[in-house]
Structure 1
Amino acid sequence: MTSKAISIYANQFYLSGALHLPEGANHRKVPLIVLLHGFVGSKVGEHRLFVKAARYFSEKGYAVFRFDFSGCGESDGDYSDVTVTKQLSEVQAVLNYVSVLPEVDANNIILIGHSLGGAVASLTAAKDRRIRKLILWSPVGKPYDDIAEILGTSAMKTAETNGVVDYRGFYVSQIFLTDLKNHHPLGAIRSYQEAALIIHAQQDEDIPKEHAARYFVSLQQRPILERVNKHYIEGADHTFSSYTFEHELFSKSTEWLGSFHEHPQKVAL
């Protein structure tokens, strides 16, 4: 496995990313996983979740790209300027870049989103036909309601009054919150035409685990018959903060991906 830092220009900012390649990627095109982090998150993730995920998946034969949205991690910008609309545009810039890399099989691009990144992943997959598999980890289902619940009533009032609120050292803007009302991933995902897996933490303290069932129902309402699966990780919190939870999260995701004929390693769930 090899990894290298990559910078991608989007929305007048440089986004900091890391590309992980499996052994042998120089001799054949491999499936690509793009990881999307969540609210006030980064490409590292809490307890290095996305670093561990990237290494795990690359060892299984996948290329993995993880990156910081603008205003997050090591990318340019400030969180006070973040909106989901801008993040959707940044995902497009990332996909445009990684889909033409010589090591990448452009016909096997997988999007994995955690938390708010799950909502962004769903909204992206609904419109971008390059996404052939979608995996949601404890996804936000109702962006405005879910983020408002995380922030709390007092912080929401502060944002409305002052234009921003300081949340754990990040300025969250009223513009960000208003923009959330424009995005409805549970409805949009019905336009996605490929297979999907939803994995939710059973004891999620931030995002209702009921969203997994809501996404499942929305995907089942599509006229196409692509596979949809859901799985709950018993005892897990929102960020899957133990090695046991991480292993189940990664292994279930890999087993599901491996069950499709596009990947050389066929593994049934």
Structure 2
Amino acid sequence: MKEVLKFLKCMNHEVPMLVDFPDSGDRFPTVLLIHGFMSGKSNDNHMLKRISQKITEASIIAARIDLCSMGENLCSREQYGMKVMIAEVKASFKYLQSLPEVDENRVGLLGHSLGGRLAFTCSTLPAKLVIALNGAINTMEPIEVDYDKEQMNKLGYSIIRTADGRVELLFPRFEKDIKETLNNNIKQFSNPILIGVATSDPTLNPEISLNFIKNCHMSNVDSFTVDDSDHTFNVESGDFSKLNEVIAKVVPWLSEHI
């Protein structure tokens, strides 16, 4: 496997992208991995990297990005919101299609948490498939983020403490953008969809995904559940057994459908 760091232009800033290439071959199917809320391509104990490596071992290119102001992305945190992130996902998708190693007709989206919402929202792209893991996929409803509203009103921002121990700032743009980007795009998506749900997720209500699976009435939706797992599949604890369980479901499905 060869890993290459790239920076691609989007709006008035650059999007950092790590691309994992299989060891041999010419043109490959490809998956764009999208991280969750206040996370990054290398956060959550390298969860996306661990997924990416297993995808690449299956002879599929895996690319992961840092969204607006996260990780190596230098866009202003005040811009952190769905509109910029949607633009970043779309720019990243099109950039991947332009690479000579990529089969432009076989590019998929995989998102975790807020990344799952972005994957569903960006299903207007010619994606070969969409995967959401513990995704905020209720795209027709606002997300309720737990933050100090009094602090937001007083200071113009709120301090967020993330699951992996970081302290970040949340600005009003995030909530405004959520409301202005509500959509039902996924209902028009006819290619394969896979939804993975941690049934005891304490961070994002698993009923969001479970209700979609039950009520969407879409024949192109497959799903699986993971028990005794938190929002990031217990990786912060150093126990990767649940993440490995997820990978064992995702990679064969991905290989079959892409």
Q: What TM-score comes out, normalization by structure 1 length?
A: 0.86
Report the 3-state secondary structure (helix = DSSP H, G, I; strand = E; otherwise coil) of the residue aligned with 1:240.
coil
* Equivalent residue number for residue 135 of structure 1: 131
Q: CA deviation at 1:202?
A: 1.6
| 1:258 counterpart = 2:255 | yes
Q: CA deviation at 1:58?
A: 0.4
Q: Deviations over 1:17-65 (max 9, x none)?
A: 111001213xx21110100001110001301101111111101111011
* Equivalent residue number for residue 244 of structure 1: 241
Report the 3-state secondary structure (helix = DSSP H, G, I; strand = E; otherwise coil) of the residue aligned with 1:132.
coil
Q: Deviations over 1:225-264 (max 9, x none)?
A: 4x2111111111100123111111111011212333x5xx
* Equivalent residue number for residue 205 of structure 1: 202
Letter matched to residue 6 of structure 2: I
* Equivalent residue number for residue 11 of structure 1: 11
Structural mapping, 1:98-247, within 5 Å: 98-125=96-123, 127-128=124-125, 130-142=126-138, 145-148=142-145, 151-152=146-147, 155-168=148-161, 169-184=167-182, 187-217=184-214, 219-221=216-218, 225=219, 227-241=220-234, 242-247=239-244
Q: Please give the alpha-carbon distance, in whole angstroms, between the structure 1 residues aligned to 2:204 and 2:212.
A: 13
Q: Please give the alpha-carbon distance, in whole angstroms, between the structure 2 residues aligned to 1:18 and 1:9.
A: 14
Q: CA deviation at 1:217?
A: 4.2
Q: Please give the alpha-carbon distance, in whole angstroms, between the structure 2 residues aligned to 1:94 and 1:45.
A: 19
Structure 1 pair 214/2, CA: closer, same or farther in 2 (3 Å)? same
Contact 2:143/2:178 (8 A) holds in 1: no
Q: CA deviation at 1:156?
A: 2.7
Q: CA deviation at 1:7?
A: 0.5
Report the 3-state secondary structure (helix = DSSP H, G, I; strand = E; otherwise coil) of the residue aligned with 1:220.
coil
**Identity across the alignment (%):** 21
Q: Please give the alpha-carbon distance, in whole angstroms, between the structure 2 residues aligned to 1:123 and 1:255.
A: 24
* Equivalent residue number for residue 164 of structure 2: none
Letter matched to residue 107 of structure 1: N
| 1:73 counterpart = 2:87 | no
Gaps of 5+ in 1: 263-269
Contact 1:13/1:70 (8 A) holds in 2: no
Q: Please give the alpha-carbon distance, in whole angstroms, between the structure 1 residues aligned to 2:10 and 2:144.
A: 25
Q: CA deviation at 1:179?
A: 1.4
Structure 1 pair 71/218, CA: closer, same or farther in 2 (3 Å)? farther
Letter matched to residue 198 of structure 2: A
Report the 3-state secondary structure (helix = DSSP H, G, I; strand = E; otherwise coil) of the residue aligned with 2:103.
strand
Report the 3-state secondary structure (helix = DSSP H, G, I; strand = E; otherwise coil) of the residue aligned with 2:9.
strand
Q: Please give the alpha-carbon distance, in whole angstroms, between the structure 1 residues aligned to 2:42 and 2:156.
A: 29
Q: Deviations over 1:56-104 (max 9, x none)?
A: 1101111011010120001112322211011001111111111111111
* Equivalent residue number for residue 20 of structure 1: 20
Gaps of 5+ in 2: 162-166
Q: CA deviation at 1:182?
A: 2.1
Report the 3-state secondary structure (helix = DSSP H, G, I; strand = E; otherwise coil) of the residue aligned with 1:4.
strand
Contact 1:160/1:174 (8 A) holds in 2: no
Q: What TM-score comes out, normalization by structure 2 length?
A: 0.90
Structural mapping, 1:32-43, within 5 Å: 32-43=30-41
Letter matched to residue 100 of structure 1: S
Report the 3-state secondary structure (helix = DSSP H, G, I; strand = E; otherwise coil) of the residue aligned with 2:180.
coil
The Cα RMSD (Å) is: 1.8
